[in-house]
Amino acid sequence: MKPLARVQYRPRPVFQLWSALAVAAGAVIWGSDLHAENHETMITSHGYSFYGDLTYPADYPYFNYVNPDAPKGGEISISTLGTFDSMNPYSRKGRGGVLSTIMYESLLGDGVGGEAAPADVYGESYCLLCESIEYPESKDWVIFKMRPEARFSNGDPVTAHDIEFSHNLLLDQGLQSYADAVRKRIPKVEVIDDYTIKFYFTEGISRRSLIDQVGFVPAWSKKWYEETGARLDESRLEISPGSGAYMVETVDVNRRIVYKRNPDYWGNDLPFNVGRNNFDQIRVEYFGDENSAFEAFKSGEYTFRNEGNSKQWATAYDFPKVAEGFVVKEEIPDGSPPAPTGIVFNLGREVLQDKRVREAVALAFNFEWINESLQYGLFKQRTSFTQDTPLMAQGIPQGPELEFLQGLGDAIVPELLTDEVRMPHTSGAERLLDRRNARAASELLDAAGWPVGSDGMRRNEAGEPLRLTFLLNSSGSATLAAVIENFMANLEDFGVEAVLEKVDSSQYTLRERDRDYDMVFDQYAAFLGTGTGLSQRYGSEAAAFSLFNPAGLASPMVDAIIEASLLADTREQEEAAMTALDRALRYEFIMIPAWYNDVHWVAHYDQYGRPEDQPAYALGYLDFWWYDAAKAEELRAVGALR
């Protein structure tokens, strides 16, 4: 379970899948010996995966997908909407700036912006701040041997004392849901020497996500925190030094953040970094609304756009710079599972605790009409939390999945074993209000105790109207706003008092954190494997306050499946458990599934290069793309760029 940061930038959630299913793609290079005390086989390795298989050997020169000769230099500039007032994304307080985790590395390596590294495999992590890791077959503990050459950007060495400090700082001042989970699993940390640290794991619990957990703790400077008195749980613009390839150059609140590549970065020549971290500068421009952001792209104010608006993708890229070839528009395959995105119900609201009400409300969402009328038919409807993967639940449970569910006894509701898996309703695309679905919704609301009164509004026995609010970020996509407005219009036709509350970015962040809404358009984390992070996102343990469980789901059945999945000894058992989890989450019906796209929509000024073989699990434009100086000069010569 990786420490999670609340920032606006949301790459595809591959970074949350380090405990996912990995396919053996090569020989594993490691050493083994027998522990003198208990004769247990010891494993020493240059990386980690739960099942012990690593694609890249110890002497790998670079990741297979990168261009090892990629030039260094130039700038890539991107945009975001809204505001920020903090450069500390690890606190509930404040709104963190985009990419404000970019400065910090961990023992095991990550990609720029939180994407996967390596980006061509699942479930494998490789040493970055560490040289090697050592652990027994039982995984009762792990030792990381660190690289003495690692340095913070101010020149101070990164030591085991900093790692210990960072681990404890997250427990003492980090997010409560994270700290509560970790304390139960990691009772002790020991600094053996300046560059060797050992973590002990609680007896009698699953070994899932333990080594990963400590391996991905951000390395913060103990000296800096002690000298400044700064806290992790405060909103602040002051930035602690990091050891990463990038550091903050300038911060202009609500307008711009510029990151520069550290010319003295200690890890430039590591195989982990070959062909990566290629830009001298990454610039983030802030805009108040989508229209102004797009116009700024057309004028060249920023140069790379990862498009998420279907209307703009379909209709707005016909401006002269595209026709003349100065701006490249392309669709790049996306192999990562789509985030489970949709209209999330706040299960803390009494009215929404009745699944019949949620099912009736869902019938107001007409995906087919929305996709054709507002989104140009460019999307597919998401059905599953493991969409388009072998782990999607299908039909009635069979084989290993059925055996897994039956083994959980009374924790599983009987209908999960006998009924077809929940699928989204279908609607007619010819009109917004599907009459068949409206009748079905009416029957459900009547049965739930919300009949239509003489005024056409649905009321309970106490005469209270069925009132539902939807929280929407006013600086977000105009297309999304239109989707929600039409959804709310259908609810009104059902006799529901539907209230759309559009608020600015700062209010939206505060209210979302406090769950001050009935419904919100949000997402959960995709998963392809088990891990303790599933409990933080989908479990009851932190349901009352977890920022990563916007519905507040607290299901004993889901808890039982997650806990049992952590004990899986084989990939087949893990697959069965994850399929069962998908089935159970769909049964609990915590959100109305929206749409997804299996390609990246990308537009950029023709001054960038990327590898010929795009890895499946990361777009990587900040990570392993590069700046083509000759092409950039041509764009400037013809006036396409400033």
Dist CA 401 CA 285 (whole Å): 47
| Per-residue pLDDT, 485 | 98
Q: For residue range 523-582, list pLDDT tens digits in order.
A: 998 898 998 889 889 999 889 888 899 999 999 999 999 999 999 989 899 999 999 999
The H or E element containing residue 573 is: helix 571-588
Question: What string of DSSP letters covers 294-337?
Answer: HHHHHHTSS-EEEE--HHHHHHT--SHHHHTTSEEEEEEE--SP
Closest Cα partner for 167 from 142, 136, 193, 188? 188
**Beta-carbon count within 10 A of 370 CB:** 23
Average pLDDT, the chain: 92
Model pLDDT, residue 539: 94
pLDDT of residue 21: 25
Residue 193: what pLDDT? 98
For position 2, what pLDDT does the model report? 53
d(CA 159, CA 152): 10
pLDDT at 464: 96
Exposure of 386 by Cβ count < 10 A (0-12 exposed, 13-18 middle, 19+ buried)? buried
**Contact 208/67 with Cβ under 8 angstroms?**
no
- Give buried/exposed letters for 517-526 (b at 16+ CB in 10 A, else e): bbbbbbbbbb
Taken in order of first residue, the domains within the chain and their CATH numbers are 13-73+91-228 (3.40.190.10), 246-336+599-637 (3.40.190.10), 345-596 (3.10.105.10)
Alpha helices (H) along 217-309: 222-228, 290-299
- Say what the pLDDT of residue 452 is: 96
**Residue 11 pLDDT:** 34
Contacts for 510 with CB less than 8 Å, ≥ 6 apart? 516
What does the alpha-carbon distance between residue 90 and residue 4 come to, in Å, rounded to a whole number? 7
Positions of the chain with pLDDT lower than 70, given as ranges: 1-39
Partnered with residue 157 across adjacent β-strands are 151
pLDDT in tens, 277-288: 999 999 999 999
**DSSP label at residue 97:** P
Q: CA 522, CA 25: separation in Å to the nearest integer?
A: 35
pLDDT at 7: 36
What's the pTM?
0.84
Please tell me whether the peptide bond between 118 and the residue prior to it is cis, using omega within 30 degrees of 0: yes
What's residue 32's pLDDT?
A: 37
pLDDT of residue 38: 56
